[in-house]
Amino acid sequence: MAVRPQTTPPPTPTFLKISFPVPRVVVVRMDRPNRLNAMSTTGQWEMDSIWKWFDQEPNLSVAIITGTGRAFSAGADLKEWNQSMSSDVDPSKRMGNAPAFKPLSRRLGKKPVIAAVNGLAMGGGMEFVANCDLVVASKDAYFGLPEVKRGISPIGGALPRLIRTLGLQRASEFALTGRNISAQEAYDWGIVNRLVEKDQVLPEAIKLAESIAVNSPDAIICTRAGLREGWETASVERAVELTLEREFAELQRGENILEGLKAFSEKRQPRWKASRL
Protein backbone atom coordinates (compact mmCIF):
# COMPACT_ATOMS: atom_id res chain seq x y z
CA MET A 1 0.00 0.00 0.00
CA ALA A 2 1.40 3.41 -0.95
CA VAL A 3 2.00 6.01 1.69
CA ARG A 4 -0.88 8.45 1.53
CA PRO A 5 -0.01 12.11 1.08
CA GLN A 6 -0.53 14.48 3.96
CA THR A 7 -3.38 16.95 3.73
CA THR A 8 -1.24 19.69 5.25
CA PRO A 9 2.41 20.23 4.27
CA PRO A 10 4.90 19.49 7.06
CA PRO A 11 7.16 22.20 8.43
CA THR A 12 10.57 22.47 6.75
CA PRO A 13 13.00 22.29 9.66
CA THR A 14 16.81 22.19 9.52
CA PHE A 15 17.63 20.38 12.80
CA LEU A 16 14.97 17.75 12.14
CA LYS A 17 14.59 15.45 9.13
CA ILE A 18 11.13 14.03 8.31
CA SER A 19 10.26 10.85 6.42
CA PHE A 20 7.19 8.65 5.89
CA PRO A 21 8.25 4.97 5.85
CA VAL A 22 4.79 3.36 5.93
CA PRO A 23 1.20 4.63 5.80
CA ARG A 24 0.09 6.85 8.68
CA VAL A 25 3.58 6.91 10.27
CA VAL A 26 6.10 9.75 10.35
CA VAL A 27 9.74 9.48 11.42
CA VAL A 28 11.25 12.60 12.98
CA ARG A 29 15.05 12.39 13.08
CA MET A 30 17.20 14.74 15.14
CA ASP A 31 20.08 15.48 12.77
CA ARG A 32 22.95 17.23 14.50
CA PRO A 33 25.38 14.34 15.01
CA ASN A 34 28.46 16.51 15.54
CA ARG A 35 26.80 17.84 18.72
CA LEU A 36 25.23 14.52 19.73
CA ASN A 37 21.87 15.89 18.54
CA ALA A 38 21.87 18.49 21.29
CA MET A 39 19.10 20.99 20.75
CA SER A 40 19.63 24.67 20.22
CA THR A 41 16.76 27.04 20.93
CA THR A 42 16.02 27.03 17.19
CA GLY A 43 15.89 23.23 17.23
CA GLN A 44 13.47 23.29 20.13
CA TRP A 45 11.13 25.62 18.27
CA GLU A 46 11.28 23.24 15.30
CA MET A 47 10.24 20.39 17.59
CA ASP A 48 7.34 22.45 18.87
CA SER A 49 6.20 23.11 15.31
CA ILE A 50 6.53 19.46 14.23
CA TRP A 51 4.43 18.01 17.06
CA LYS A 52 1.67 20.56 16.59
CA TRP A 53 1.57 19.70 12.88
CA PHE A 54 1.58 15.94 13.61
CA ASP A 55 -1.40 16.17 15.96
CA GLN A 56 -3.41 18.15 13.42
CA GLU A 57 -2.53 16.06 10.35
CA PRO A 58 -5.50 13.68 9.85
CA ASN A 59 -3.56 11.17 7.72
CA LEU A 60 -0.97 10.43 10.43
CA SER A 61 -1.53 8.26 13.50
CA VAL A 62 1.92 7.49 14.95
CA ALA A 63 5.27 9.30 15.10
CA ILE A 64 8.77 7.97 15.76
CA ILE A 65 11.53 10.15 17.19
CA THR A 66 15.14 9.08 16.69
CA GLY A 67 18.63 10.49 16.23
CA THR A 68 21.44 10.51 13.68
CA GLY A 69 24.80 9.00 14.56
CA ARG A 70 25.82 7.56 17.91
CA ALA A 71 23.37 9.59 19.99
CA PHE A 72 19.62 9.77 20.38
CA SER A 73 20.03 13.20 21.98
CA ALA A 74 22.33 14.77 24.54
CA GLY A 75 19.49 17.15 25.43
CA ALA A 76 19.78 20.91 25.51
CA ASP A 77 22.82 22.59 23.98
CA LEU A 78 24.60 23.52 27.22
CA LYS A 79 27.12 25.73 25.42
CA GLU A 80 24.31 27.89 24.07
CA TRP A 81 22.64 27.83 27.47
CA ASN A 82 25.86 29.03 29.10
CA GLN A 83 26.18 31.85 26.57
CA SER A 84 22.60 32.95 27.21
CA MET A 85 23.25 33.04 30.95
CA SER A 86 26.22 35.35 30.52
CA SER A 87 24.63 37.64 27.95
CA ASP A 88 21.94 40.30 27.94
CA VAL A 89 19.28 37.86 26.76
CA ASP A 90 15.89 38.42 28.40
CA PRO A 91 15.76 35.80 31.23
CA SER A 92 12.27 34.72 30.11
CA LYS A 93 13.73 33.82 26.70
CA ARG A 94 16.76 31.87 27.89
CA MET A 95 16.91 28.27 26.84
CA GLY A 96 15.61 26.77 30.08
CA ASN A 97 12.67 29.18 30.23
CA ALA A 98 11.60 29.42 26.61
CA PRO A 99 8.21 27.85 25.79
CA ALA A 100 9.98 25.75 23.16
CA PHE A 101 11.88 23.95 25.94
CA LYS A 102 8.90 21.61 26.27
CA PRO A 103 8.45 20.36 22.69
CA LEU A 104 8.29 16.67 23.61
CA SER A 105 9.26 16.19 27.25
CA ARG A 106 6.11 18.01 28.40
CA ARG A 107 3.96 17.31 25.37
CA LEU A 108 0.43 16.13 26.04
CA GLY A 109 -0.71 15.87 22.43
CA LYS A 110 -3.27 13.37 21.23
CA LYS A 111 -1.32 10.82 19.16
CA PRO A 112 1.35 8.32 20.25
CA VAL A 113 5.07 8.89 19.80
CA ILE A 114 7.62 6.06 19.84
CA ALA A 115 11.21 6.76 20.90
CA ALA A 116 13.71 4.84 18.77
CA VAL A 117 16.76 5.24 21.00
CA ASN A 118 19.77 4.56 18.79
CA GLY A 119 22.41 5.70 21.30
CA LEU A 120 22.92 7.84 24.37
CA ALA A 121 19.85 9.66 25.73
CA MET A 122 21.00 12.25 28.22
CA GLY A 123 19.36 15.18 29.97
CA GLY A 124 16.64 16.54 27.72
CA GLY A 125 17.02 13.46 25.51
CA MET A 126 16.13 11.29 28.50
CA GLU A 127 13.24 13.61 29.28
CA PHE A 128 11.92 12.95 25.76
CA VAL A 129 12.14 9.21 26.40
CA ALA A 130 10.32 9.51 29.73
CA ASN A 131 7.30 11.05 28.01
CA CYS A 132 7.14 8.89 24.87
CA ASP A 133 4.35 6.33 24.72
CA LEU A 134 6.62 3.43 23.73
CA VAL A 135 10.39 3.00 23.62
CA VAL A 136 12.58 0.81 21.42
CA ALA A 137 16.27 0.94 22.35
CA SER A 138 19.58 -0.32 21.09
CA LYS A 139 21.21 -2.80 23.45
CA ASP A 140 24.23 -0.50 23.70
CA ALA A 141 22.20 2.66 24.41
CA TYR A 142 22.37 4.31 27.80
CA PHE A 143 20.29 6.84 29.65
CA GLY A 144 20.97 9.56 32.19
CA LEU A 145 19.82 12.73 33.90
CA PRO A 146 23.18 14.36 34.64
CA GLU A 147 21.73 17.80 35.34
CA VAL A 148 22.61 17.73 39.05
CA LYS A 149 26.28 17.36 38.00
CA ARG A 150 26.00 20.60 36.00
CA GLY A 151 24.23 22.72 38.58
CA ILE A 152 20.92 22.39 36.72
CA SER A 153 17.77 20.39 37.39
CA PRO A 154 15.78 18.21 34.97
CA ILE A 155 12.73 20.46 34.86
CA GLY A 156 11.37 19.31 31.47
CA GLY A 157 8.77 16.95 32.90
CA ALA A 158 10.84 13.82 33.51
CA LEU A 159 10.79 13.90 37.32
CA PRO A 160 7.04 13.49 37.95
CA ARG A 161 6.75 11.15 34.98
CA LEU A 162 9.55 8.91 36.20
CA ILE A 163 7.90 8.75 39.62
CA ARG A 164 4.86 7.25 37.93
CA THR A 165 6.91 4.86 35.82
CA LEU A 166 9.63 3.82 38.26
CA GLY A 167 8.36 4.65 41.73
CA LEU A 168 9.96 7.08 44.18
CA GLN A 169 13.05 5.13 45.13
CA ARG A 170 14.29 4.23 41.66
CA ALA A 171 13.42 7.66 40.27
CA SER A 172 15.29 9.28 43.18
CA GLU A 173 18.38 7.15 42.63
CA PHE A 174 18.37 7.94 38.93
CA ALA A 175 17.83 11.69 39.19
CA LEU A 176 19.68 12.58 42.40
CA THR A 177 22.89 10.69 41.63
CA GLY A 178 22.95 11.74 37.98
CA ARG A 179 24.35 8.32 37.08
CA ASN A 180 23.86 6.63 33.73
CA ILE A 181 21.86 3.43 33.38
CA SER A 182 22.27 0.83 30.68
CA ALA A 183 19.62 -0.13 28.16
CA GLN A 184 19.19 -3.43 29.99
CA GLU A 185 18.60 -1.64 33.29
CA ALA A 186 16.14 0.73 31.61
CA TYR A 187 14.33 -2.30 30.21
CA ASP A 188 14.28 -4.02 33.61
CA TRP A 189 12.92 -0.84 35.21
CA GLY A 190 10.12 -0.54 32.65
CA ILE A 191 11.34 2.51 30.72
CA VAL A 192 12.04 0.51 27.55
CA ASN A 193 9.57 -1.78 25.75
CA ARG A 194 11.97 -3.57 23.42
CA LEU A 195 15.75 -4.09 23.25
CA VAL A 196 17.26 -4.80 19.83
CA GLU A 197 20.56 -4.64 17.99
CA LYS A 198 21.61 -1.14 16.97
CA ASP A 199 20.84 -1.61 13.28
CA GLN A 200 17.35 -2.85 14.12
CA VAL A 201 16.22 0.07 16.29
CA LEU A 202 14.43 2.06 13.59
CA PRO A 203 13.06 -1.00 11.71
CA GLU A 204 11.65 -2.37 14.97
CA ALA A 205 10.14 1.02 15.86
CA ILE A 206 8.55 1.24 12.40
CA LYS A 207 7.17 -2.28 12.78
CA LEU A 208 5.70 -1.34 16.17
CA ALA A 209 4.29 1.93 14.79
CA GLU A 210 2.71 0.10 11.86
CA SER A 211 1.01 -2.38 14.22
CA ILE A 212 -0.67 0.64 15.86
CA ALA A 213 -1.33 2.64 12.69
CA VAL A 214 -3.40 -0.12 11.03
CA ASN A 215 -6.06 0.39 13.70
CA SER A 216 -8.85 2.96 13.77
CA PRO A 217 -7.36 6.47 13.90
CA ASP A 218 -10.20 7.55 16.21
CA ALA A 219 -9.73 4.56 18.50
CA ILE A 220 -5.97 5.20 18.73
CA ILE A 221 -6.57 8.77 19.90
CA CYS A 222 -9.32 7.78 22.33
CA THR A 223 -7.36 4.86 23.81
CA ARG A 224 -4.22 6.94 24.25
CA ALA A 225 -6.29 9.64 25.97
CA GLY A 226 -7.62 7.06 28.42
CA LEU A 227 -4.09 5.87 29.17
CA ARG A 228 -2.76 9.39 29.60
CA GLU A 229 -5.60 10.48 31.85
CA GLY A 230 -4.87 7.49 34.06
CA TRP A 231 -1.18 8.44 34.13
CA GLU A 232 -1.69 12.16 34.72
CA THR A 233 -4.62 12.14 37.17
CA ALA A 234 -4.98 10.65 40.64
CA SER A 235 -8.42 9.08 40.25
CA VAL A 236 -9.04 6.09 38.01
CA GLU A 237 -12.77 6.81 37.91
CA ARG A 238 -12.24 10.46 36.99
CA ALA A 239 -9.85 9.44 34.20
CA VAL A 240 -12.55 7.18 32.78
CA GLU A 241 -15.18 9.92 33.06
CA LEU A 242 -13.00 12.45 31.26
CA THR A 243 -12.27 10.08 28.39
CA LEU A 244 -15.94 9.14 28.06
CA GLU A 245 -17.04 12.77 28.05
CA ARG A 246 -14.49 13.93 25.50
CA GLU A 247 -12.70 11.51 23.16
CA PHE A 248 -15.14 8.60 23.37
CA ALA A 249 -18.12 10.90 22.77
CA GLU A 250 -16.39 12.20 19.63
CA LEU A 251 -15.45 8.67 18.57
CA GLN A 252 -19.11 7.62 18.68
CA ARG A 253 -20.07 10.50 16.37
CA GLY A 254 -17.49 9.47 13.76
CA GLU A 255 -17.55 7.10 10.80
CA ASN A 256 -14.79 4.76 11.96
CA ILE A 257 -16.74 3.14 14.76
CA LEU A 258 -19.48 2.24 12.27
CA GLU A 259 -16.92 0.96 9.78
CA GLY A 260 -15.15 -1.16 12.41
CA LEU A 261 -18.35 -2.82 13.57
CA LYS A 262 -19.57 -3.35 10.01
CA ALA A 263 -16.25 -4.86 8.92
CA PHE A 264 -16.35 -7.25 11.87
CA SER A 265 -19.84 -8.39 10.92
CA GLU A 266 -18.84 -8.81 7.27
CA LYS A 267 -15.58 -10.61 8.18
CA ARG A 268 -13.35 -8.21 6.24
CA GLN A 269 -10.63 -5.68 6.94
CA PRO A 270 -11.95 -2.21 7.85
CA ARG A 271 -11.37 0.75 5.56
CA TRP A 272 -10.63 3.59 7.96
CA LYS A 273 -11.25 7.27 7.30
CA ALA A 274 -8.93 10.03 8.46
CA SER A 275 -9.61 10.94 12.06
CA ARG A 276 -11.77 13.93 12.94
CA LEU A 277 -10.96 13.79 16.65
* Same domain flag for 192 and 229: no
185 is annotated as an active-site residue: no
CATH code for position 203: 3.90.226.10
Task: Quote the pLDDT of residue 45.
Answer: 85
Exactly one of 46, 127, 204, 247 is catalytic; which is it?
A: 127
User: Angle CA(191)–CA(243)–CA(253) in degrees, nearest 5?
Assistant: 125
Q: Are 269 and 263 in contact (CB under 8 A)?
A: yes
Q: Which of 213, 229, 244 is the last residue of a domain?
A: 213
Task: Quote the pLDDT of residue 75.
Answer: 84
Task: Quote the pLDDT of residue 12.
Answer: 82
Decide if 4 is inside a domain: no
* Same domain flag for 223 and 197: no
Decide if 159 is inside a domain: yes
69 is annotated as an active-site residue: no
Decide if 133 is inside a domain: yes
- Total structural domains within the chain: 2
Three-state SS letters, 66-93:
EECCCEEECCECHHHHHHHHCCCCCHHH
Work out the mean pLDDT of the chain and round it to a whole number: 90
User: Angle CA(92)–CA(98)–CA(104) in degrees, nearest 5?
Assistant: 160
* Same domain flag for 99 and 184: yes
Decide if 245 is inside a domain: yes
Decide if 5 is inside a domain: no
* Same domain flag for 133 and 168: yes
* Same domain flag for 145 and 110: yes
Q: Are 270 and 260 in contact (CB under 8 A)?
A: yes
* Same domain flag for 46 and 179: yes
Exactly one of 43, 75, 109, 124 is catalytic; which is it?
A: 124
Crossing angle (nearest 10°) for helices 158-166 and 124-131 = 50
Q: Are 197 and 138 in contact (CB under 8 A)?
A: yes
* Same domain flag for 103 and 175: yes
Q: What is the DSSP letter of 199?
A: G
Decide if 235 is inside a domain: yes
Decide if 44 is inside a domain: yes
Output 217 or 6, whichever has higher pLDDT: 217
Task: Quote the pLDDT of residue 126.
Answer: 96
* Same domain flag for 259 and 123: no
For the entire predicted model, the pTM comes to: 0.91
Tens digit of each residue's pLDDT (9 = 90 or more) over 250-266: 999 999 999 999 999 99
Exactly one of 147, 204, 229, 247 is catalytic; which is it?
A: 147
76 is annotated as an active-site residue: yes
* Same domain flag for 183 and 67: yes
Decide if 35 is inside a domain: yes
* Same domain flag for 224 and 204: no
255 is annotated as an active-site residue: no
Q: Name the CA dihedral angle for 103, 225, 72, 40, rounded to a multiple of 10 degrees.
A: 0
Task: Quote the pLDDT of residue 101.
Answer: 56
Exactly one of 38, 71, 74, 76 is catalytic; which is it?
A: 76
| Cα 246 off chain centre by | 22
The whole-number average pLDDT for the span 224-233 is 92
In the Cβ-directed half-sphere of 24, how many Cα atoms lie within 13 Å?
23
| Cα 276 off chain centre by | 21
Band the pLDDT of 100: cuts 50, 70, 90. Answer: very low
* Same domain flag for 126 and 179: yes
Band the pLDDT of 1: cuts 50, 70, 90. Answer: very low
* Same domain flag for 31 and 61: yes
Range of the domain at 252: 217-266
